[in-house]
Amino acid sequence: MKVRPEIEPNISTEEKIKEAARKVFTRKGYAATRTRDIAEESGYNLALINYYFRSKEKLFDIIMLEHLQTFVHSIIGIVNDTATTLQQKLEVLISHYIDMLIKNPDLPLFILTEVNADPVKLIGKIGVNDLDHKELFISKQWKELVKAKKIPPLNPAHIMMNVIGMTIFPFVGSPLIRDRMKLSMEEFNTLMLERKKLIPIWIQAIILCPIPNNSNPKKTGEHNTTRNKVPIFSGGSGFLSK
């Protein structure tokens, strides 16, 4: 029986297969990709993918792990930087995100789909210890600012959801958006580069935005989102009469 090479196999072809797998998996998802698709994309024989990676699932795990690692690590560095302000962190984060998304437009949908398909497995792969949001410098910064009354109190998770939602959604919904707005890929990307500047501004507006304290005073999580100064918004008294 043959023994698999332990040291330094032809790094080139192994890498080529991995590259092909990354491409196909990321575009079609685990369930919809056939090992034959990967073989064809790589230009090598079907058997080679098992020769190098044992199984479709093992190969997938490697691809996914690398995706998550580069993803998480790039974030960590930014949000734990003690030299930047909160606002600067958000700017860098969003800019970084959008650049990455323009290069890999179907990465977010891929990750979200696969996390959804098997949350336990995938969440385990993300450095759980790495990303403890209580320990991140950005979280401490937020608390300081609230304590110093520089910004209204709010569960910072809301801000994170807004940042990621605003940044990622256009890419996730790209086929629909491009079709509706009749945009070429290039025009779409220009629009996204535009958002690179806009989203930080919008997020600042959101962060500074006072919240009226009318209804439910129940707290969710640990922060209380209600309570604040001027109720600039209530009923229809806002800026727009029909």
Partner DNA sequence: ACAAATACTAATCATTTGATTAAAATACTT
Partner DNA sequence: AAGTATTTTAATCAAATGATTAGTATTTGT
Selection from a second copy, DNA, none that 46 binds (CB < 5 to 8 A by kind) is DNA
From DNA, a second copy, none, interface partner of 135 (C-beta below 5 to 8 A by class):
none
Q: Looking at beta carbons only, is 9 or 165 nearer to DNA? A: 9
Our CB check for DNA shows the closer of 6 and 186 to be: 6
Contact (Cβ atoms closer than 8 angstroms) between residue 133 and residue 48: no
Identify the H or E element spanning 102.
helix 86-103
Residue type, 7: I
CA 46/CA 59 separation, integer angstroms? 13
> What gap in Å lies between CA 168 and CA 199, rounded to an integer?
11
Helix (H, G, I), strand (E, B) or coil at 220: strand
28, interface contact from a second copy, DNA, none, CB < 5-8 Å by kind: a second copy
Q: Is 83 exposed, middle or buried (0-12, 13-18, 19+ CB in 10 A)?
A: exposed
Q: Measured from the CB atom, is 46 or 75 closer to DNA?
A: 46
Q: Which is nearer to DNA, 8 or 222 (CB)?
A: 8
> Minimum distance between the CB of residue 229 and a second copy, rounded to whole angstroms?
13
- Nearest distance in Å: CB 160, a second copy: 9
CA distance 97 to 79: 13
Separation CA 211–CA 183 (nearest Å): 36
Q: Give the nearer residue to DNA in terms of CB position, either 33 or 174.
A: 33
Least separation in angstroms between residue 22's CB and DNA is 16
CA distance 83 to 215: 39
Give the nearer residue to a second copy in terms of CB position, either 50 or 228.
Answer: 228
- Residue among 203, 194, 197, 231 at smallest CA distance from 215: 231
Please choose which of DNA, a second copy, none residue 10 contacts, taking the beta carbon within 5 to 8 angstroms, the exact cut-off set by kind.
DNA
208, interface contact from DNA, a second copy, none, CB < 5-8 Å by kind: a second copy
CB of 123 to DNA, least distance (A): 23
Q: Which is nearer to DNA, 113 or 228 (CB)?
A: 113
Residue 132, both tokens = 């403890």
> d(Cα 233, Cα 237) in Å, to the nearest integer?
7
Q: Among a second copy, DNA, none, what does residue 123 contact (CB within 5–8 Å per kind)?
A: a second copy
If you search the block for the tokens 């996204």, which residue do you land on?
Answer: 192
Residue 76: contacted member of a second copy, DNA, none (CB under 5 to 8 Å, by partner type): none
Applying CB under 7 A, the residues found at the interface with DNA are: 1-3, 5-10, 13-14, 33-36, 44-48, 50-51, 54-57
User: What minimum distance in Å lies between the beta carbon of 21 and a second copy?
Assistant: 16
